[in-house]
């Protein structure tokens, strides 16, 4: 099974460049428009300024499309490691459940109730943590952004197609943020139940407290803050989507080592 993949916080450079490119082009457009107004008031030709503005808009659209490809690749990796970890966790649940059952049977202890609880938690995870297609969502972002390039230049198209990548992006943000929170809470419940079961057969496993638990963040609050700050809060949002799973992976690797050490040789 593929191991969990940590992602560098350096990926926040991509959304930062996207926002800065918008700020720069807005400043340039304002400067060009002021120049056009001043030139027109003096009676001179404004053709050069308008051509320069059109060229700037085209270059901006192309730059944004290229940045969107990198951004889509980042989201692809975020979704792929989510799928990989969730599948890996289901196998871990199954292995721990089987091991606990064998230990209880070996020691002649009836552990049917806690074993049923473990099985229910595993089945809940299997139903709730279905794979998301990272290729599909990344392709939606890339092709929607590519199709919406003309809308940056023609205002009539902006209200429609240009919003498609935004809706896709924030939907991905939503399910990544919420599903990691539910996954971690479910994992904590499973480990607590497993610890109680093992204690009844004389094996004491006490996982350490999480050093950075994933909080139940509000999607609405994050979205409003992103809008109010003209996208700059979205950089922190991306950082959260990168760092929360990284912290989760570090803690889980430590807990798995503890459990393996305690269960080593118990089923032999």
Is residue 14 situated within a structural domain? yes
Query: In which domain, by residue range, is 163 found?
Result: 9-263
Nearest Cα residue to 129 out of 193, 189, 75, 182:
182
Nearest Cα residue to 172 out of 205, 197, 139, 200:
139
Please write the tens of the pLDDT for every residue from 155-188: 444 445 567 777 888 999 999 999 999 999 999 9
- Give the mean pLDDT per block of 10 residues along the chain (268 residues): 82 92 84 72 58 76 85 92 94 91 86 91 93 85 58 46 75 95 96 90 83 94 94 94 96 88 67
Is residue 4 situated within a structural domain? no
The count of domains in the chain is 1
Distances (CA, A) of 32 to 22, 199, 230, 262: 15, 73, 22, 70
Is residue 32 situated within a structural domain? yes
Is 205:258 a contact under the CB 8 Å cutoff?
yes
Is residue 123 situated within a structural domain? yes
Is residue 268 situated within a structural domain? no
Is residue 233 situated within a structural domain? yes
pTM score? 0.85
Residue 169's φ and ψ, nearest 5 degrees, are -60, -50
Is residue 3 situated within a structural domain? no
Is residue 40 situated within a structural domain? yes
Looking at residue 260, its pLDDT comes to 81
């Amino acid at each position: 099974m593929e191991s969990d993949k940590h992602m560098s916080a350096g990926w926040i450079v991509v959304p930062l460049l996207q926002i800065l490119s918008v700020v720069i082009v807005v400043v340039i457009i304002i400067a060009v428009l002021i120049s056009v107004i001043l030139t027109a008031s003096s009676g001179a030709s404004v053709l050069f300024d308008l051509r320069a503005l059109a060229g700037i808009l085209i270059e901006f659209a192309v730059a944004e499309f290229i940045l969107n490809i990198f951004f889509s690749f980042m989201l692809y990796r975020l979704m792929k490691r989510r799928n990989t970890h969730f599948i890996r966790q289901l196998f871990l649940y199954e292995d721990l459940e089987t091991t606990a059952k064998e230990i209880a049977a070996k020691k002649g202890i009836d552990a049917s109730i806690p074993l049923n609880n473990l099985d229910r938690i595993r089945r809940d995870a299997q139903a709730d943590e279905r794979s998301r297609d990272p290729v599909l969502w990344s392709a939606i972002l890339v092709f929607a952004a590519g199709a919406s390039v003309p809308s940056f230049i023609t205002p009539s198209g902006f209200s429609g197609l240009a919003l498609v990548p935004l809706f896709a992006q924030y939907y991905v943000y939503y399910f990544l943020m919420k599903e990691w929170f539910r996954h971690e809470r479910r994992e904590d419940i499973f480990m607590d139940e497993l610890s109680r079961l093992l204690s009844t057969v004389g094996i004491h496993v006490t996982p350490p407290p999480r050093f950075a638990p994933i909080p139940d963040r509000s999607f609405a609050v994050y979205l409003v803050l992103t809008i109010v700050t003209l996208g700059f809060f979205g950089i922190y949002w991306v950082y959260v989507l990168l760092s929360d799973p990284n912290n989760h992976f570090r803690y889980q690797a430590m807990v798995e080592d503890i459990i393996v050490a305690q269960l080593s040789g118990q089923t032999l």
